[in-house]
Amino acid sequence: MMFDVAVIGSGPAGASCAASCARAGLRTLLLEREKFPREKVCGDCLNPACWPVLERLAVADRVHRLPHGKIERVEFIAIGGRAVGVDLPRAAEIAVKRSAFDELLQQRAMACGAEVQHATLEALTPRWTLTTSHGEIAARVVVAADGRNSTVARLLGLLPRFEKERVGLQAHVPLPEGFGRRVVLQLLPDGYSGQAPVGGGELNLCLVGRPAALPRLRAWAEAEFHLPRGQTWRTITPLRRPALSPAQHDLFLVGDAARVVEPFTGEGIFYALRSGELAAQAVIQQLQHGDTRAADWYRREHQQLYRGRLWVNRLARAAVLSPRFTSALLRSGFVPPALLEALTTKVVR
């Protein structure tokens, strides 16, 4: 069967793209290797900037009805325990488990008319023939929404070599009593930890550090949160890698597949949803209106999406790569709360 568009990966980027393509009447395939619902390494925090995209996808109300934690405050904790808190400008940030969020988005894509196949992409040849664990598929356009280790980019030789400098670990653990409606970003001698309540008496606990530091980070978390020894953790790497060109003619890259941002700022899901939506607009223009410049348009829009914000990302990365220096700044009061508030407001637009 010939699809108009094959979207590889059903995270927020792929589901958003597939739903928009299918709703416009394109024969859309959404290919996902994992059986949903599934968790993934993520802080589970939805930046308020996600809401307009979720409204356009007509799922905002349903996302609000998923079990979630409300976030009203961000607390930065330095090594040694000094905490500086910033109230969020509006109480619109929530944390919701990816098992629930991603499944809801996938169901929305299906309801819009996308065909969801549970299979792994294993090979592809341009103009496009895709070999999956279940057989061959033909498509006019391919959208790579398959995350930071994109199989599509790797198979096409687009993924550069990169250093696995840091690893992210994540688990859902019992919510400590009195944790409150806050997200905690805690600097540690060996990296950092993110903590957010996700509802149902659970806390999302993330740890980020260099591979050699992981045993110490795990030991810290086990002691701090009274976890059983041998607690299981999901893992992911890399935490950074070079950005890829997001479009070439009949190939589009969305979400983490195109560009990975520092998790500390909690914006990855927004970029995934929005770039998926933008790529869908380009694919629709190309296939339904014969617009030969649709890929150029998407490249520009993609650049615009990140422009003016990458400095926040760089600042966050610099802060977390030098946790002792950043902690000293926080402890000395050299980083005034007003500056932290301004930065936080910039992130949670």
Ligand X SMILES: Cc1cc2nc3c(=O)[nH]c(=O)nc-3n(C[C@H](O)[C@H](O)[C@H](O)COP(=O)(O)OP(=O)(O)OC[C@H]3O[C@@H](n4cnc5c(N)ncnc54)[C@H](O)[C@@H]3O)c2cc1C
Binding positions for ligand X, rule: CB under 6 A: 8-14, 31-34, 40-45, 47, 120-121, 145-147, 151, 168, 170, 206, 208, 236, 255-257, 263, 266-270, 272
Nearest distance, CB of residue 167 and ligand X, angstroms: 9
Q: Which is nearer to ligand X, 293 or 345 (CB)?
A: 345
Quick one: 48 or 294, whose CB is closer to ligand X?
48
In 3D space, the residue among 234, 235, 254, 238 whose CA is nearest the CA of residue 246 turns out to be: 254
Q: How many CB atoms neighbour CB 284 within 10 A?
A: 20
Of 162 and 336, which has the nearer Cβ to ligand X? 162
CB of 192 or CB of 327, closer to ligand X: 192
Q: What are 130's two structure tokens?
A: 């895709």
CB of 194 to ligand X, least distance (A): 6
Please, what is the minimum distance in Å from the beta carbon of residue 313 to ligand X? Answer: 12
Contact residues for 120 (Cβ-Cβ < 8 A; gap 6+): 33, 132, 133, 151
Residue closer to ligand X by CB (options 156, 328) is 156
Q: How far is the CB of 177 from ligand X (least distance, A)?
A: 23
Nearer to ligand X by Cβ, of 26 and 121: the residue is: 121
Give 84-107 as a DSSP string: EEEE-SSS-EEE--HHHHHHHHHH
Whether the CB-CB separation of 278 and 300 falls below 8 Å is answered with: no
Q: How far is the CB of 149 from ligand X (least distance, A)?
A: 7
Nearer to ligand X, 79 or 257 (CB): 257
Locate all alpha helices (DSSP H) within the chain, ordered by sequence.
Answer: 12-23, 50-56, 60-65, 98-111, 151-155, 214-224, 268-289, 294-306, 310-321, 323-332, 337-347
What minimum distance in Å lies between the beta carbon of 333 and ligand X? 28
SS3 label, residue 187: strand
Q: Which residues contact 227 (CB under 8 A, 6 or more apart)?
A: 171, 173, 221
Strand 115-118 with 135-144, pairing: unpaired
How crowded is the C-beta side of 307, counted as CA atoms within 13 Å? 6
Question: Residue 151 CB, nearest distance to ligand X (Å)?
Answer: 3
Could you tell me which of 149, 109, 143, 148 has the C-alpha nearest to residue 124? 143
